[in-house]
Amino acid sequence: MKNKKVIVINGFQRGGTNIVYNILQSHPQVCSANDLEIGQILTQNYRIPSQKKIGYLIKRLKLAFYDLLNKKFILNSFIVNILGILVDYLFYIYKLKNFHNQYNRYKYENIPYSLNEIKESVLCLKSVNNDISLTRFLSKIYENIYFIGLIRNGYALCESWIRRGKTARISGQRYKRFCEMIIKDSKKIKNYKIIKFEDVLNNPFAEAKKLFKFTQLEPANLEKLRFKSKKVLTNQGIHEVKYGKLDSKYWFNQESILNLFDPSINNIQIDLLSELDKKIFEKEANPILEYFDYLG
């Protein structure tokens, strides 16, 4: 394989995976697949507004293909090896694109990677929602691989998904399904660690140290971490950029990081949920909410 060591973050859309993604990319030994999610790479960004029907068809075919990949007779066959070589090379090509990325080309603040350093770097990937089902496939094709399952308070996710067109019922079903996938894989696959979004938000540097140790990256302590500036939901229910320019990346130390994250974001989102939506969501997601101590 072209990528000798791989780290995969599994989580949800709007679940904070970008924060963990950027924490890991802050390490001088790590590069991403040029910030793209696994699903985006494998389908070449199929979500094109003018081709919604084609995009939907590709999405359905992709899910069917993922289901097929999880069959034991496929996972234990030479097909996985062939697909693995192709997928690995595709990830590698996207990793090399970091050499021309205005933010990711730096291993430390103002210190760029050489092309060879990017080639030899640890690959960091991100899977969200249904793409989590690729975990077993990836664990088969890479010997040196680490998985991080990022869990977030389901009520906050429910509010976010409802705001984007999902119902509370569908949100509960999705949350339960994706969490069950993470829990199941964490019990069967070596080097799998589950973390909580809330812990990352409350103390990103402490969590970064734990993640670097888990993935066996040195040094485990960094003076600065690099994050992308995103819009944050305020108490007034509007999205605002909290720091710098939207989608730009900046290096933060333990003091300046306080200007970027709002640890109360979950409470802000939960307060926007109606009582009816909370009850509907709970009915579907109850076992998972209880499992991760989010119930209530």
As a whole number of angstroms, the distance between CA 250 and CA 38 comes to 24
The CA-based dihedral angle spanning residues 148, 154, 157, 159, taken in that order and rounded to the nearest 10 degrees = 180
Question: Which amino acid makes up residue 18?
Answer: N
Residue (of 242, 254, 172, 143) closest to 206 by Cα position: 254
pLDDT of residue 192: 98
User: Using 50, 70 and 90 to split pLDDT, how confident is the model at 50?
Assistant: very low
pLDDT over 90 for what percent of the chain? 77
Domain extents in the chain: 6-291
Secondary structure class of 261 (helix, strand, coil):
coil
Pairing between strand 249-252 and 225-228?
antiparallel
Span 164-216, pLDDT tens digits? 999 999 999 999 999 999 999 999 999 999 999 999 999 999 999 999 999 99
What is the assigned CATH class of domain 6-291?
alpha beta
117 in Cβ contact with 31 (< 8 Å) = no
194 in Cβ contact with 182 (< 8 Å) = yes
As a whole number of angstroms, the distance between CA 70 and CA 140 comes to 11
167-173, Cβ contacts within 8 angstroms, sequence gap of 24 or more: 167/280, 168/276, 168/277, 168/278, 168/280, 168/281, 169/280, 169/281, 169/283, 169/284, 171/281, 171/284, 171/285, 172/280, 172/281, 172/282, 172/283, 172/284, 172/285, 173/284, 173/285
What letter does residue 127 receive in the DSSP assignment?
E
Cis ω for the linkage preceding 49 (within 30 of 0):
no
As a whole number of angstroms, the distance between CA 278 and CA 47 comes to 30
pLDDT over 70 for what percent of the chain? 93
As a whole number of angstroms, the distance between CA 286 and CA 197 comes to 19
Task: Report the pLDDT averaged over residues 74-88.
Answer: 88
85 in Cβ contact with 92 (< 8 Å) = no
- Chain centroid to CA 46: how far? 19
User: Using 50, 70 and 90 to split pLDDT, how confident is the model at 230?
Assistant: confident
Task: Report the pLDDT averaged over residues 232-251.
Answer: 84
pLDDT surpasses 60 at 293: yes
If one compares 101 and 75, the residue with the highest pLDDT of the two is 101
If one compares 11 and 246, the residue with the highest pLDDT of the two is 11
Enumerate helices (H) and strands (E) in the chain, giving the number of each. 13, 11
Among the ranges given (56-65, 141-150, 241-250), the one the predictor scored with the smallest mean pLDDT = 56-65
Q: Which CA distances in Å does 160 have to 137, 261, 288?
A: 30, 17, 18
133 in Cβ contact with 66 (< 8 Å) = yes
If one compares 61 and 165, the residue with the highest pLDDT of the two is 165
pLDDT of residue 48: 46
User: Cα–Cα–Cα angle for 60, 135, 1, nearest 5°?
Assistant: 105
Task: Report the pLDDT averaged over residues 109-122.
Answer: 98
User: Chain-wide mean pLDDT for the chain?
Assistant: 92
pLDDT of residue 57: 62
pLDDT of residue 60: 65
Pairing between strand 225-228 and 106-108?
unpaired
Span 121-178, pLDDT tens digits? 999 999 999 999 999 999 999 999 999 999 999 999 999 999 999 999 999 999 999 9
